[in-house]
Amino acid sequence: MEWVGMNVTQVREQIPLLANTVYLDNAGAGPPPVSVYAEMLKFLNEWRDHGEKWEEWLPDIVRSRELFAQLIEANRDEVACIPNVSSGLGAVATSIQLNREQNVVVSELNFPTNIYLWHTLQQRGVLKEVRVLKQVNGSIPLSAYERAIDDNTAAVSLDYVSWINGCRERIAEVTKLAHSHGALMIVDVFHALGVMPIYAKKLDVDVLASGTYKWLMGPHGAAFLYVKQEVLEKLQPTIIGWHGIRDSVIARIQAQEEVFGRPFDLNQAEPASNASKFEWGTWAFISVRAPKRP
């Protein structure tokens, strides 16, 4: 979707809802622009008239990874296409090699998933403590992070912008604190991406996740997970699906092989070396259809 060069009126024309509505719920779900609706309709017509074209749809997954990587200035191999942010954060959290002496630091301004999943790990006994920092006048003071993060902190997991009050966390500064103690920095940017520029490398975060149906105004059913290359090598998924293996269908396409030209090796489960190891199952192709095929 290319709106560069358009004036405000032309941009508004790309969002039909604005012709008769003052829309204030983009933080919940953005209205679909003309181009998004057209691509989804095109997909449905193609599916209705010609049936499944699965192998032709697979390159759209690769293209969507590339587009998201460009958006946050990352490398394609560091990006996975996932169904939603909760799945991505859960996949990462359960891939960290935790021990019973460690803690995780979160904010009470986080979306609930980005708190509950850590409590679950603590309840299973693989984590000693979840430190939920309390807001002061609508934000978490940097001093609170300084007190909470220590050498036993495995990860700090925050929302870039709070879903509750719009508070913008001081991610770059908290990242430096986390890294100074050897902790991972995990950030949910869903309520910010599309409103403000977010660059993964500049922030130096280890993990970043976002969906597409808020400020990016895409459909439900598609999200993306960025994991820094150096961190990818350390995370070991506790489960893996058929799209997360090294010899996946997309890996075969990229190697110009027949997708089902040979059987899969069922005697082992070797994870992919890139972020696709967090892609467990089949994607919602209609939700990740790229504006243009590669």
Comparing C-alpha atoms, which of 30, 48, 37, 62 is closest to residue 193?
30
Q: Using alpha carbons only, how large is the chain's radius of gyration in Å?
A: 20
pLDDT in tens, 210-242: 999 999 999 999 999 999 999 999 999 999 999
pTM for the full model?
0.93
Query: pLDDT tier at 290 (50, 70, 90 boundaries)?
Result: low
Question: Which of 13, 40, 8, 73 is closest to 220 using CA atoms?
Answer: 40
In three-state secondary structure terms, 223 is: strand
| Structural domains in the chain plus CATH codes | 58-240+271-288 (3.40.640.10)
- Residue 292 pLDDT > 90: no
**Residue 127 tokens, joined:** 């984590």
Q: What is the DSSP string of 42-104?
A: HHHHHHHHH---HHHHHHHHHHHHHHHHHHHT--GGGEEEES-HHHHHHHHHTTS---TT-EE
Strand order in the sheet with 79-82: 79-82, 223-227, 207-211, 184-188, 153-159, 103-107, 129-133
pLDDT at 127 (0 to 100): 95
What would the pLDDT profile of 22-74 be if each residue is shown by its tens digit? 999 999 999 999 989 999 999 999 999 999 988 889 999 999 999 999 999 99
Q: Is the pLDDT of residue 293 over 60?
A: no
- Only one residue has tokens 């609170």, namely 144
What is the DSSP secondary structure assignment for residue 30, as one 8-state letter?
P
**Cβ count within 10 A of residue 100:** 10
User: Phi and psi at residue 195, in whole multiples of 5°?
Assistant: -100, -40
pLDDT in tens, 99-152: 999 999 999 999 999 999 999 999 999 999 999 999 999 999 999 999 999 999
pLDDT(81) > 70: yes
